[in-house]
Amino acid sequence: MSLIPLANRQALVRKALEASHVDGFFLPRGDEFMGEYVAPYAERLAWLTGFTGSAGMAILLRDKAAVFSDGRYTSQLRDQVDASQWECLHVTNEPPGPWLAANGKGLRIGYDPRLVSEVQLNALIGDGHEFVALDANPIDAAWSDKPLPPESEVRFQEEAFSGEDSLSKRRKIGGALRKAGQEAMLVCDPTSLAWLLNIRGDDVPHTPVVLAFGILHHDASLEVFVDISRVSPDAAVSFLAVSILPPQDLPERLKALSGQVVRFDPAQTGLWFIQTLSQAGAKLARGVDLCALPRACKNETEQSGARKVHLTDSTALCRFLHFVSREGTGLRETRLAEILNDFRAASPDYHGESFPAISAVGPNAALPHYRALPGEDRVLEANQVYLIDSGGQYSAGTTDVTRTIWNGPEAPPAALCEAFTRVLKGNIALARARFPAGTTGHRLDALARYALWQAGLDYDHGTGHGIGSYLSVHEGPQNISSVARPIGLEAGMILSDEPGYYLPGEYGIRLENLLLVRPAPVKARTAFLEFEVLGFAPFDRTLIMASLLEPEELRWLNAYHEDTLARIGPLLDETDRTWLAAACAPITN
């Protein structure tokens, strides 16, 4: 935590901007690696504005300032950011481009080219202002007590978990480069580097990666820029045909690519790389990260690992749900999250949360990305909604699951039950879907929303995101969202299924399982796919309005609960198993 008062930070940064001869500064939330989760040294947006959400950006001008985020964080922005210093804006409804066009006429706007991608900057470029790449970041100049970058050990992800050795992966990607007529590719996404090299680390919270860049050549050789003292002896076996170079060598190695065709992902690569390569005379080839799709399509070993860790994780969640039903009343949100983490930690393969658990009581559950803080969190009382969205990192995979429950003893309100059941119908509709191979997530998104739409309800977030294999809990390139992406779903991908509904000031509902894409056993002229549900935990029967469920939905729900009892029941003690049997008993309408 910085000792510099939050109220003083704008003035300090503006002073640094004056020294750089610019009139403003654009600051995205993120680090040089464009990741969602960042190490403390890179929490520049939080330091400057107080906003701690995982997505956002700020624009600081001489006499105006604004911070932007999406619908998940509307209330959090309002609560964390000083409205006397910052305008708090919805990034979709009030985008930064038009705001800058209205407020930045004739101004020189600085940016850190290591933190800003080409895609980000292009969305902001306008006729009335000029963007200026700065050699030094003004936030860093003002943040005098900034933490040091992390230096965790580089660990080996054994082939028993990865399913393929690093050289094999690099040969495939190298072959794709040769086919595209390209000689090298920048690897700027730490999750891609971790997948490609079969390594893991602890440089950022919740995502087991090493913050390092790589240059992959078409002959499958790889240059990795990381302090060699960090590489464990076990990990060294994965570094065949790999050069380990100190990070300070990166500029010279980029210049050595002069005359070569170099591929990079414009959404994942800082503009500094593009500028350096251009000045060196390299030929720039914009294209998607060639590691992203094979990383997303889990091989058989990774699929088996996902199934295994979900049994472990679901056992912990079921134990927790039983605990809450017995002893949860009177406990604070943060304490409940700790207890769930303790249940998960009973597994020797557990490495920690895959994201900070969203443990939310009553009106806090209406904040989709609420984060409980000690001393500021609510107590779970009788006759309230409790939402728990959490996940774990295990050696063989990553989990993410959400359940919403009613903490009786009184019966829940009918309106709550109706909303819950409509969310459940959306979860079931997506889980039951069959679709042609190559269908995009955008085309499936309406399945999860349809039942809500019929009652004039909706939710302001995506329905599903990709999941890594002991990597990022939010992994591309696939997703399920109302925002179109051109990535078709393929067998082996894992996505979340998490529709919701949020009534501000009252409650929130979200129900989430993870889904594995697999071939569908149907006779058709073209290949069809379907989903395999990976997680197993009961949906709260006290909130289910069975009369709203269609017969096929009810059959699916009862079969899911029967499967949950069969898979998880034997892993529980007698007391927990008795509770699970009651929670999974058939429902009739």
CB 544 within 8 A of CB 587: yes
d(CA 85, CA 88): 10
Measured in degrees and rounded to the nearest 5, phi and psi for residue 24 equal -170, 180
Q: What H or E segment, with its residue span, contains residue 351?
A: strand 350-353
- Give every CB contact of residue 164 below 8 A, 6+ residues apart in sequence: 299, 301
When pLDDT is cut at 50, 70 and 90, the band that residue 92 belongs to is confident
Three-class secondary structure of residue 96 per DSSP: helix
Distances from the Cα of 306 to the Cαs of 314, 347, 433, 539, in angstroms?
12, 15, 20, 21
d(CA 188, CA 204): 15
Residue 313's nearest CA partner among 345, 288, 339, 338 is 345
d(CA 236, CA 228): 10
Residue 404's nearest CA partner among 429, 392, 421, 379 is 421
- pLDDT at position 72 over 90: no
d(CA 99, CA 90): 11
Radius of gyration of the CA atoms of the chain, in A: 24
- Give every CB contact of residue 168 below 8 A, 6+ residues apart in sequence: none
Q: Which two tokens stand for residue 440?
A: 């995009």
CB 431 within 8 A of CB 562: no
What share of the chain in percent tops pLDDT 70?
A: 100
- Give every CB contact of residue 475 below 8 A, 6+ residues apart in sequence: 191, 295, 296, 465, 466, 467, 468
| pLDDT of 91 | 86
Angle, vertex CA 38, rays to CA 174 and CA 221, nearest 5: 15
- In this structure, of 235-239, 312-316, 352-356, 554-558, the range with the lowest mean pLDDT score is 235-239
Measured in degrees and rounded to the nearest 5, phi and psi for residue 587 equal -110, 135
| pLDDT of 88 | 87
- pLDDT at position 73 over 80: no
- pLDDT at position 77 over 90: no
Any idea what DSSP says for residue 440?
B
List 223's β-bridge partners, or say none: 215, 243
* 107-132: average pLDDT: 90
CB 384 within 8 A of CB 330: no
Residue 92's nearest CA partner among 119, 52, 56 is 56
d(CA 454, CA 214): 49
Which CATH number is 6-142's, of 3.40.50.300, 3.40.350.10, 2.40.110.10, 3.40.50.720?
Answer: 3.40.350.10
| pLDDT of 171 | 97
Distances from the Cα of 458 to the Cαs of 394, 419, 498, 508, 510, in angstroms?
33, 10, 12, 12, 12
Three-class secondary structure of residue 495 per DSSP: strand
**Burial track 407-440 (b if 16+ CB lie within 10 A, e otherwise):** beeeebeeebbbbbbbbbbbbbbbbebebebebb
CB 130 within 8 A of CB 107: yes
pLDDT digits (tens, 9 = 90+) for 368-377: 888 898 998 9
d(CA 261, CA 102): 39
With left for phi above 0 and alpha for psi between -120 and 50, is residue 420 left, alpha or beta?
alpha
Which CATH number is 297-583's, of 1.10.357.10, 3.90.230.10, 2.60.40.730, 3.90.1150.10?
Answer: 3.90.230.10
pLDDT digits (tens, 9 = 90+) for 233-265: 888 878 888 999 999 999 999 999 999 999 999
Strands 199-200 and 24-28: unpaired
| pLDDT of 539 | 98
| pLDDT of 1 | 64
- pLDDT at position 93 over 80: yes
| pLDDT of 237 | 79
pLDDT digits (tens, 9 = 90+) for 402-434: 999 999 999 999 999 999 999 999 999 999 999
What type of residue is 414? A
- pLDDT at position 75 over 80: no
d(CA 164, CA 303): 13
For domain 155-295, give the fold.
Answer: Creatine Amidinohydrolase; Chain A, domain 1 (3.40.350)
Distances from the Cα of 183 to the Cαs of 6, 168, 187, 350, in angstroms?
47, 18, 13, 40
Q: Which two tokens stand for residue 102?
A: 């209205």
What share of the chain in percent tops pLDDT 90?
A: 84
Strands 222-225 and 242-245: parallel
Domain residue extents for the chain: 6-142, 155-295, 297-583
Measured in degrees and rounded to the nearest 5, phi and psi for residue 476 equal -90, -175
| pLDDT of 297 | 98
Any idea what DSSP says for residue 222?
E
Judge whether 6-142 and 297-583 match in fold: no
d(CA 150, CA 580): 43
